[in-house]
Structure 1
Amino acid sequence: MTTKRSEPSERLRAHPAERFADDERILDLAQCTQTLLSEDHKAVDGHRQYTLSRSDTHTTILFHFEKGSRIPEHMVRGDVSIHVLDGQLEVETPSQTHRLKAEQILVLAAGVKHDVHALSETRMLLTVQLTPKQKN
C-alpha cells in the first residue's frame, strides 16, 4: 500500500513532481519573475529564487536579488554558469573578482569557491551541471 505524503498548507508553488513532469516546456522568464516577486513572503537574505528545471545532474534556477544582497562563499560539485539577465553582480573566486553586467555569463568549473554580491537589483539565471559521483 502506498501512502501519499501530505503537502504543507503553506506551499508556495506546485510540487516539483508536478512542475517538472512534462518532457517539454517553454518558460517565460518575465512571467516567472513576476510570479516570484508576487509571492507573499519576505525575500531570504535579500534574494528570491525559483527552480525552473531539475534532473539528476542538471538544475536551472532564476534568482532575483535586491541591491546589496549576498550569497556567501560556497562551491558546487558541478560546472556552474551565472547568466546576468539584468542588473550587476560581483562574483568573487579565490583567483579574482568578476564584475558582471546584463547579458554576460560567467562559467565556473566544478569545485571553484565563489560568492555572489548584487551591486544593483539583479535577475540571474543559474545553471548547474553536476558531475556524477564515481562508483568505486
Structure 2
Amino acid sequence: MTTSRDDGNMIDDLARFDLTQEIADSRSKKPWTAGHFAKTLFKKADFRTVLITMERGSRMKEHHTDGTISVQVLEGEIRFTAQGKTHDLPQGSLMTLSASIPHEVEAAKDAAFLLTIAWPSNQELLEMKHRGYGT
C-alpha cells in the first residue's frame, strides 16, 4: 500500500489530499495577516502544489514564479492579472502561465485555489536572468 505523510511529502510514489478538509483547516487558522493563507501540500525538486485560500478583497501583489504554473479555482472567484489583462476566474476555472511572467491575484469573493508549479532544475534556475522565490 502506498501512503503519504500528513505534510504531503511522499513515502513512496503517491500522495493524496482531501482538498475540502485542507480548505477547512486553512480557514481555521484565521485571522490571516495578509488576508490569505498558503500551504504547500506537495514539494519535490521539479514540482510543487500549493493550496491558497483568500478573503474577499485580499491581493497578492505583482510577483513571478520561476516555473510554469497552473491556477485551478476550487471555491469562490479570483481575478488573475498578467500581461496587462485581467481574467475573472470563477470556481471550476483553470489558467496556466509560462515561467517568470509577472502576475497578481485578487480575491473577488472568498476563494480557494490550487497553484501547481513545474519547478525548473537548479541548473535552469542558475541560468535565469533573475531569480524568483526559493529553490
Q: Please classify the TM superposition score into its range, dividing by the shorter chain length.
A: 0.7 to 0.9
Structure 1 alignment gaps of length 5 or more:
1-16
TM-score after normalising by structure 1: 0.80
Q: Secondary structure of 1:31's match?
A: helix
Looking at structure 2, the residues matched to 61 and 67 of structure 1 have their Cα atoms a distance apart, in angstroms, of: 19
Cα deviations across residues 48-85 of structure 1 (Å, max 9, x unaligned)? Answer: 11111001121101111100000000011110101101
Quick one: percent identity of the two aligned structures? Answer: 28
Structure 1 residue 42: Cα displacement: 2.7
Structure 1 residue 131: Cα displacement: 1.9
Q: 1:36: which partner in 2? A: 26
Structure 2 alignment gaps of length 5 or more:
128-135
1:48 is aligned to 2:37: yes
Looking at structure 1, the residues matched to 115 and 104 of structure 2 have their Cα atoms a distance apart, in angstroms, of: 13
1:29 is matched by which residue type in structure 2? L
Displaced runs of 4 or more, over 4 A: none
Aligned-pair Cα RMSD in Å: 1.9
2:43 is matched by which residue type in structure 1? R
TM-score after normalising by structure 2: 0.80
Looking at structure 2, the residues matched to 122 and 46 of structure 1 have their Cα atoms a distance apart, in angstroms, of: 11
Q: Secondary structure of 1:107's match?
A: strand
Looking at structure 1, the residues matched to 40 and 50 of structure 2 have their Cα atoms a distance apart, in angstroms, of: 4
Structure 1 residue 21: Cα displacement: 4.2
Q: 2:132: which partner in 1? A: none
Q: Larger Cα Rg: Structure 1 or Structure 2?
A: 1
Q: How many pairs are equivalent?
A: 119
Q: 2:99: which partner in 1? A: 110
Looking at structure 1, the residues matched to 33 and 39 of structure 2 have their Cα atoms a distance apart, in angstroms, of: 12
1:87 is matched by which residue type in structure 2? G
